[in-house]
C-alpha cells in the first residue's frame, strides 16, 4: 500500500535539495539567461514584424530546449539514486518505514517540480520580454510549446532515473546520461541522415525512424503548434501531413507520454527488486 504522505515528504525534500544544488542553479540561470537574450534580440515595429518576431523567438526557444532541457533532465535523474547509493544515504532512507516505490516516486516528483521551475523561469522571462515588446500574437501557442518542453524534460528525467537504478556509481550514471544526451541531440539526426543516404530508405521509413527519438517528437509537435505546417521539414514533413493529418499531433503527444511512463515504470520495477545495488557501493 503506497502512502501518499511519504511521497509528498520525499518530493518536498528532493525539491529543496535540487533548488540548492549549485549545478542545477547554473543550468537554470543559463537557460533563463539565454531565453531572455533570444527574446530581447528582436525589436518589432508594426504588426507584421511583431508576428515574425514571435515566430522567430519561439522557434529559437525550441532549439534552446533541445539542447538544455534533455541535459538537465538526464543529469538530475541519473545522479539521484546513484549518488545516494554511493554516499550511503539510500541505505539509511530505506531503513525508514517507506517502500522503495514511495522513495523513487517521491524523488521523481520532487525533481519534476525543480524541472518545472526551470522552464517557468526561462519561458516566463522570455514571455514577459516579448509581451513588453508587443510581439506575442498568440499566448496559447506559446504556452503549448512550454508544455511540450516540460513533457520532453520529464521523458529525459525518467530515462535518467532508469540509468540511476542500473549504475553503482554516480560517475557511471552521469557518463550514461551524457552519452544518451549526445545520442538524442546529435547522433540521432546524423545517424538518420547517414542511414537515409547509404540505404536509400523510403521517406515514410525515415520519418518513422525519426519520431522514435523523443526530441524529434518535441520538435515536430512544436512546429505543428507554431506554424500548423511541416513544410520546413521537406519531403518528410509533407509525408507526415498527408499520411496522418490532424492525428499527427495527438500521436506525438502520446509518444512523449510513453517516453515518460515506460522508463519510469522500468525504473520502479528494477529498484523494487534490487538488493545488492541498494547497499553503498564500495567497488
Domain-embedded: residue 118: yes
How far apart (Å, rounded) are the C-alpha atoms in residues 270 and 237? 38
Cα pseudo-dihedral 19, 158, 99, 90, rounded to 10 = -60
Q: What is the pLDDT of residue 132?
A: 73
3-state secondary structure of 274: coil
For residue 270, with 0-12 CB atoms within 10 Å meaning exposed, 13-18 middle and 19 or more buried, which class applies? middle
Domain-embedded: residue 254: no
How far apart (Å, rounded) are the C-alpha atoms in residues 126 and 171? 34
Domain-embedded: residue 201: no
Q: State residue 25 phi and psi, 5-degree precision.
A: -65, -40
pLDDT at 282 over 50: no
Domain-embedded: residue 241: no
Q: What is the pLDDT of residue 161?
A: 95
Domain around 147 = 4-179+260-278
Give the count of domains, the chain: 1
pLDDT bracket for residue 43 (50, 70, 90):
very low
Per-residue cell: 15: 525539491
Per-residue cell: 124: 516566463
Residue closest to 278 by CA, chosen among 67, 104, 29: 104
Average confidence (pLDDT) over 94-100: 88
Residues of the chain above pLDDT 70, percent: 78
Higher pLDDT pick, 85 / 51: 85
Domain-embedded: residue 80: yes
H helix and E strand count, the chain: 12, 0
pLDDT bracket for residue 52 (50, 70, 90):
very low
Distance between alpha carbon 100 and the CA centroid of its chain, in Å? 24
- Alpha carbons within 13 A on the beta-carbon side of 192: 20
* CB of 94 closer than 8 Å to CB of 279: no
Give the global pTM: 0.87
pLDDT at 46 over 50: no
pLDDT digits (tens, 9 = 90+) for 187-241: 666 556 556 656 666 766 777 777 788 998 898 888 888 775 666 565 666 777 7
CA–CA distance from 149 to each of 84, 173, 222, 263 (Å)? 28, 23, 9, 18
Amino acid at each position: 500500500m503506497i502512502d501518499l504522505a511519504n511521497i509528498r515528504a520525499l518530493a518536498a525534500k528532493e525539491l529543496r535539495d535540487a533548488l540548492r544544488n549549485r549545478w542545477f542553479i547554473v543550468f537554470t540561470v543559463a537557460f533563463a539567461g539565454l531565453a531572455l537574450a533570444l527574446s530581447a534580440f528582436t525589436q518589432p515595429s508594426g504588426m507584421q514584424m511583431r508576428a515574425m518576431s514571435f515566430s522567430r523567438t519561439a522557434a529559437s526557444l525550441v532549439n534552446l530546449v533541445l539542447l538544455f532541457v534533455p541535459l538537465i533532465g538526464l543529469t538530475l535523474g541519473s545522479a539521484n539514486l546513484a549518488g545516494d547509493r554511493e554516499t550511503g544515504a539510500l541505505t539509511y532512507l530505506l531503513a525508514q518505514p517507506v517502500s522503495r516505490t514511495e522513495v523513487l516516486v517521491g524523488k521523481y516528483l520532487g525533481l519534476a517540480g525543480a524541472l518545472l521551475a526551470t522552464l517557468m523561469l526561462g519561458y516566463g522571462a522570455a514571455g514577459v520580454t516579448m509581451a513588453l515588446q508587443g510581439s506575442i500574437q498568440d499566448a496559447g501557442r506559446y504556452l503549448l510549446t512550454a508544455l511540450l518542453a516540460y513533457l520532453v524534460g520529464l521523458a529525459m528525467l525518467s530515462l535518467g532515473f532508469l540509468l540511476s537504478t542500473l549504475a553503482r556509481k554516480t560517475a557511471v550514471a552521469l557518463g550514461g546520461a551524457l552519452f544518451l544526451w549526445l545520442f538524442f541531440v546529435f547522433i540521432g539526426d546524423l545517424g538518420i541522415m547517414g542511414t537515409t543516404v547509404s540505404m536509400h530508405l523510403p521517406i515514410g521509413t525515415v520519418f518513422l525512424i525519426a519520431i522514435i527519438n523523443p526530441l524529434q517528437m518535441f520538435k515536430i509537435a512544436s512546429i505543428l503548434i507554431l506554424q500548423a505546417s511541416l513544410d520546413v521539414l521537406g519531403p518528410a514533413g509533407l509525408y507526415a501531413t498527408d499520411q496522418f493529418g490532424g492525428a499527427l499531433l495527438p500521436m506525438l503527444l502520446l509518444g512523449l507520454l510513453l517516453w515518460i511512463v515506460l522508463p519510469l515504470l522500468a525504473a520502479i520495477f528494477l529498484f523494487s527488486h534490487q538488493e545488492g545495488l541498494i547497499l553503498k557501493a564500495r567497488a
